[in-house]
Structure 1
């Protein structure tokens, strides 16, 4: 437990320092998973979106520009400050709210209060398998029946799996960033009680990173 808390604290500091040193580090263009998610959320009739691990907000801002009301959370106040500034400059700040939140803690939202949840590479951060299951349980609690949960994770076929510093539980730290690489069994376990609609393999960025885009829906 102490090792997990120490890793969590070091990762929080690392992300804070990274966002401070590299404002808007991922650019303004939305990720491809966010573009896909906006289409999926619209098809499901969603009006409001919760993004977990929003960072400096490229995807949250995209959702807002697409007409969704967006709640963006991250454990980095620096990243969220950049998000709010960008929302104001784009004239969409009325559609975006932010909250500093560590996903190891319960989400401060009522039951069945959200239409859709998006998390791009948040679940594969330095979270234990137990933490990940608890988080997906929280997502299930706050989604309305028929709500959509779309997330992406790096998986065990990624080039960095097994490289760098091992922290156990399929977590490896490389270049200062700790990643929980997902085996397919974990994806299936997290979909228990859901309707698993898609597990789509894709690549992103340098190396390239190898990920799954997972879409699952809460039964009505």
Structure 2
């Protein structure tokens, strides 16, 4: 099996894993927004954002928070089960969130320069190859308007689970059916090339605890002469 076939097989396996997980544990992350989402909302307000894209929205705790904060939200995930739960919760709350089933290994289904901010909590450290991660950030750059911010979080190589379980190569390790691509600083720096205001904040989350970086970066704004 070639590298591309292995990546595709891992992607299909992870999609099934998340479908089963969301079906078996509705609302598994609770109702409250994540700490990175509250940070992102503050950044988006500061940059004058109106339309916000969340990648890997799952059952929607952060997407619904962004909607409550007054943003027009587009939420994507490759789990139909997760997005069904998001839509149901949005309807119950009287909130409007646009949802799209989408695998981030494919181009984003959005026009160029069509959103003001993008957010991804733990999405970019899923079972994605380094090449796929670079392609995703390129797509985010395409759909963001000038001056738009990207806020994402990833588990890094200082995490207690790094190097444990089944290795899939490319710093991807799987335990209990869940595969993670652990980031090093070189990858973060590569993804930030050509962006401004880059900030990397280390934090912990969960009972392990998981060790993560929250990365904030902005596209350059047009110059006055433009």
Q: Is 1:34 aligned to residue 37 of structure 2?
A: yes
Whole-angstrom CA distance in 2 between matches of 1:61 and 1:217: 23
* Partners of 2:192 and 2:198 within 8 A in 1: no
Secondary structure of residue in 2 paired with 1:168:
coil
Which residue of structure 1 lines up, in the alignment, with residue 88 of structure 2? 85
Listed as ranges, the matches of 1:21-170 within 5 Å are 21-93=24-96, 96-170=97-171
Which residue of structure 1 lines up, in the alignment, with residue 211 of structure 2? 210
Which residue of structure 2 lines up, in the alignment, with residue 180 of structure 1? 181
Which residue of structure 2 lines up, in the alignment, with residue 3 of structure 1? 6
Whole-angstrom CA distance in 2 between matches of 1:195 and 1:62: 26
Whole-angstrom CA distance in 2 between matches of 1:140 and 1:216: 11
| Unmatched runs of 5 consecutive residues or more in structure 1 | none
* Partners of 2:171 and 2:183 within 8 A in 1: yes
Whole-angstrom CA distance in 2 between matches of 1:10 and 1:197: 34
Moved over 6 A (4+): none
Report the alpha carbon displacement of residue 86 of structure 1 after superposing the two structures with TM. Answer: 0.2
Report the alpha carbon displacement of residue 196 of structure 1 after superposing the two structures with TM. Answer: 4.0
| Unmatched runs of 5 consecutive residues or more in structure 2 | 222-226
Report the alpha carbon displacement of residue 98 of structure 1 after superposing the two structures with TM. Answer: 0.0
Report the alpha carbon displacement of residue 197 of structure 1 after superposing the two structures with TM. Answer: 2.5
Report the alpha carbon displacement of residue 127 of structure 1 after superposing the two structures with TM. Answer: 0.2
* Partners of 2:123 and 2:154 within 8 A in 1: yes
Report the alpha carbon displacement of residue 78 of structure 1 after superposing the two structures with TM. Answer: 0.3
Secondary structure of residue in 2 paired with 1:51:
strand
Report the alpha carbon displacement of residue 175 of structure 1 after superposing the two structures with TM. Answer: 1.6
Q: How many residues are aligned here?
A: 218
TM-score normalised to the size of structure 1?
0.98
